[in-house]
Amino acid sequence: MENLSGASVPFWVKDVSFMDTHKLNDNLTCDVCVVGGGIAGLTTAYLLSKEGKRVVLLEAKNIGGGETGRTTAHLSNALDDRFSNLINLFGKDGARLACQSHARAIDMIEKIAQEESIDCDFHRVNGYLFANSRSQEEELMKELEALQQIGWRDVIMRKECPVVSLTALPCIQFPEQGRFHVMKYMGGLLKAFIEKGGQVYTDTKVVEFNSGTVTTVMTEDRHTVAANHLVVATNTPVNDMVTMHTKQAPYRTYAIGIAVPKGAVPDALYWDMEDSYHYIRLQGAEERGAATDLLIVGGEDHKTGHDDHPEKHFYALERWARLKFPMAEEVEFRWSGQVYEPVDKLAFIGRNPGDSKNVYIATGDSGHGMTHGTIAGMLITDLIMGRKNEWEKIYDPSRISLKSAGTFIKENADVAAQMADYVTPGEVSDPSEVMPGTGRLMRKGASKVAVYCDADGVRHECSAVCTHLGCIVHWNNVEKSWDCPCHGSRFDPYGKVVTGPAIKNLDKA
């Protein structure tokens, strides 16, 4: 187990090695350039290569090295924003299409794993949404009614949960959900893509995007890729400064992997109805080469950059897990990730608003990154191939929902409020006050400085102004990063970009 002052990486990142890929060192032309090597980007690249397209995929880190590698890998069309809400926002037909698209995504992952002989621990399991209070039980009944309205007839209400320690109240059982080992899947998908002629370049950061009849991207090493179509699948768009970032908000989410006796917990997906909610799944003992199953428990979400003590969320998760699963043993893994919540609950997948028609984006995973990422691959492939897709309208990035206007105003008012950080005092008045392994904000004249003290006691200073839209970054003690509370850009302790929408590193102090 890692030191309690920080987080470990998920177990699937540690035990999977990918085939060698290398950095782009030339100028290229192709049919489609995909930026982003997570599940959305790689699925899109793979499906387009099957269509005979010449595809180049560029990734700033390594394949799966962003949020895909930090997922808990639930595969579900039981959407956590509730179908009662989706019916209100998109109507019965829209909610039904959302449900069907996620179901098709699970089918697609299973199909690809079978066709490409990818051993990724894919299993079909039931999912259970359970109540913990009488008011939640009433909400559970409303959700069941909404599911009946969209025609999902094989969902049933059960009087008891399969894990009796979770609740004494009813639960909804969702059939044909799934789980898998995401990095084994990504490794197999990468191999299949390369075998079909795809080109992959890792450690290749794109810093400039040019639209037009032919799109061009430029890397930080000044190499270019020209393509007829451009797909930006980077969790949140790095080719867009403003528009899409007003439509979604970044949240940190936390997960622990805790050992439980083999067979003690039925293999399924479980979700409660708290705010924020908890989500649970298993990884079997044989699958991970251990004597015990691994219970993966996630939750405790909060807006990025809005918590001065994020480590407390791991303790809260562990307390909850031990209360609900008395058989729980040692915590073996702890990690956090970042999700983007769209103001109207569904992802944004399709043509980039205000851009040329050959530029596409995939963002707004809303906690369903594995299925949303696969939907992105299917939908964008159809758009590029000129085929109609019935999901195009509900996922259209340019859509406007008046019913979500309240959420839109609330999230963007919060962004505006962050500008007050420009006039507040610093957390320290002198760099010597910053302890080893930590970061603090300091005022230096009219500016804010981000000060990090490394393990040797050396202080490093950089500007605290996010290079995306100018908010003041906050220190994240769990991930040892500077996080922007406005749009979720993250930087390492020395100011180097970890994740967008920022492209540039923090400036020198």
pLDDT tens, residue by residue, 63-98: 998 999 999 999 999 998 899 999 999 999 999 999
Q: What angle do CA 125, 349, 225 make, to 5 degrees?
A: 115
User: What's the whole-number mean pLDDT along residues 94-114?
Assistant: 97
Q: What is the rounded distance in angstroms from the CA atom of residue 379 to the CA atom of residue 373? A: 10
> What confidence score (pLDDT) does residue 384 get?
98
Helix (H) or strand (E) holding 337: strand 331-342
CATH 3.30.70.890 holds for 20-71+184-246+345-409: no
Which pLDDT value is given to residue 21? 79
The string of pLDDT tens digits covering residues 458-502 is 999 999 999 998 999 999 999 999 999 999 999 999 999 999 899
Q: Please check whether residue 250 is in contact with residue 488, taking contact to mean a CB–CB distance below 8 angstroms.
A: yes
The answer, yes or no, to whether residue 129 has pLDDT greater than 90, is yes
**Structure confidence at residue 292 (pLDDT):** 96
| Mean pLDDT confidence for 388-400 | 95
Indicate the SS3 state at residue 229.
strand
Average pLDDT, the chain: 91
Both structure tokens of 174: 């969702």
* CATH 2.102.10.10 for the 423-499 domain, yes or no: yes
215-219 and 224-232 strand pairing: antiparallel
CA distance 123 to 79: 19
- Cα-Cα-Cα-Cα dihedral sign, residues 465, 470, 475, 480: negative
pLDDT value for 416:
61
Interatomic CA distance for residues 331 and 317, integer angstroms: 11
pLDDT at 6: 47
Q: How far apart are CA 72 and CA 279, in angstroms?
A: 9
Q: Cβ contacts of residue 348 below 8 Å, gap of 6+?
A: 244, 247, 248, 342, 361, 362, 363, 364, 395, 396, 397
By three-state DSSP, how is residue 135 classified? helix
Our CA angle for 204, 208, 212, nearest 5°, is: 120
Rounded-to-integer distance, Cα 310 and Cα 304, Å: 10
Amino acid making up residue 163: V
In tens, the pLDDT along 324-348 reads 999 999 999 999 999 999 988 899 9
Instruction: Return the amino acid letter for 250.
Output: P
> Which pLDDT score is estimated for 425?
81
More confident residue, 49 or 274: 49
CB hemisphere CA count around 425 (13 angstroms)? 4
CA neighbor of 173 nearest in space, from 127, 136, 114: 127
Domain residue ranges of the chain, discontinuous segments joined by +: 20-71+184-246+345-409, 423-499
Query: Does residue 3 register a pLDDT over 80?
Result: no
Return the pLDDT at 1: 29
Q: Which residues of 176-188 are buried (b: 16+ CB within 10 A; e: fewer)?
A: bbbbbbbbbbbbb
pLDDT greater than 90 at residue 104: yes
Cβ neighbours for 26, distance < 8 A, ≥ 6 positions apart = 223
Distance of CA 350 to the CA centre of its chain: 18
With 70 as the cut, is the pLDDT of residue 5 above it?
A: no
Q: Where in 435-496 does DSSP place strands (E)?
A: 438-444, 447-453, 459-463, 474-476, 481-483, 490-491
Segment 44-62, tens digit of pLDDT = 999 999 999 999 999 999 9
**Token duo for residue 89:** 């926002």
Is residue 276 very low, low, confident or very high in pLDDT (cuts 50, 70, 90)? confident
